[in-house]
Amino acid sequence: MRLHALFAFALVFAVAAPASAQNVILMDYSGFSYETGGLGDGAPSDPGDVLVITAVADQYDELFGVDPLSQEVTIYIYDLVSDGGFDDNGIERIAYTGGRIEVYEDPVLNHEWGTNPPNGLLTTFTDGQLLFEGEFTDFNLSIDGFGIGGYTGNIDGVGGTAAQICDNEADCAYTFGGAFTKPLATQLPEGYDLQITGTLEVDAAVDTDESSFSAVKSLFRN
């Protein structure tokens, strides 16, 4: 079965994502991202720069079949290549090509970001059993001069043991929603650009255009 998954990824600083009564939340995650050449804090996204996102699931639906007491779930997004972006009234809008997502379960609780990625420790996000994998068909990111923004991407799911979540469904739409900002330097491992946290929901779309940042952020209020 081929899954068709819509992901709206977003990076958020120091917030928590409550469940929505209208959606089934499958996964809450947090972590860090970096782009070759830097991103945010005055650093532009240059053509050919590659965005990488690494995260750990903080909680997840039992449908994943993962024991949270004995296993961890890690997320690794890679090979997103920047087109260089353009300025839109003070908002830098960047389109990316390529890109993959992989989600793993691992009985060895060993995830470690390290510093100055890429580094050898990033393999701790991919050394478990594959739960889900997909290929991006598009990915777009917006960021303003204050380091506030969001991003969205469409993905074709291609495999993993969690595919049964969408059994008996012709199409299964997943959504990560939120917004992002650059936290204090003391909260980032050296070499990373943004701290992330977000939520994966089923059949829920979150608009991350600049005009709807306030609505997106409301998803993460306590």
pLDDT score for 172: 62
* Tens digits of residue pLDDT in 35-58: 998 887 777 899 999 999 999 998
pLDDT at position 180 is 72
pLDDT number for residue 4 = 40
E-strand stretches of 61-128: 72-82, 86-88, 91-106
Give the pLDDT mean for 60-79. Answer: 88
Q: What are 135's strand-pairing partners?
A: 100, 156
Q: Which token pair is 132? A: 């889900």
Q: From CA 131, how far away is CA 161, in angstroms rounded?
A: 5
Task: Say which amino acid occupies 162.
Answer: A
Whether 12 shows a pLDDT value over 90: the answer reads no
146 has pLDDT over 60: yes
191 burial via Cβ count (<10 Å: 0-12, 13-18, 19+): middle
Cα–Cα distance measured from residue 15 to residue 48, given in angstroms and rounded to the nearest whole number:
31
Contact between 159 and 130 (Cβ < 8 Å): yes
What is the distance between the alpha carbons of residues 19 and 221, in angstroms, rounded to a whole number?
11
Band (pLDDT 50/70/90 cuts) for residue 218 is very low
Which percentage of the chain shows pLDDT scores above 90?
A: 33
pLDDT of residue 150: 81
Residues 173/142, Cβ–Cβ less than 8 Å: no
Q: Looking at residue 107, what is its pLDDT?
A: 92
Average pLDDT, the chain: 74
pLDDT at 211 over 70: no
pLDDT at 200: 67
Segment of 47-61, 130-144, 191-205 carrying the highest mean pLDDT = 47-61
pLDDT at 82: 97
What is the rounded distance in angstroms from the CA atom of residue 51 to the CA atom of residue 146?
19
Q: Please, which residues have CB within 8 angstroms of residue 44's CB and are 6 or more apart in sequence?
A: 37, 84, 85, 92
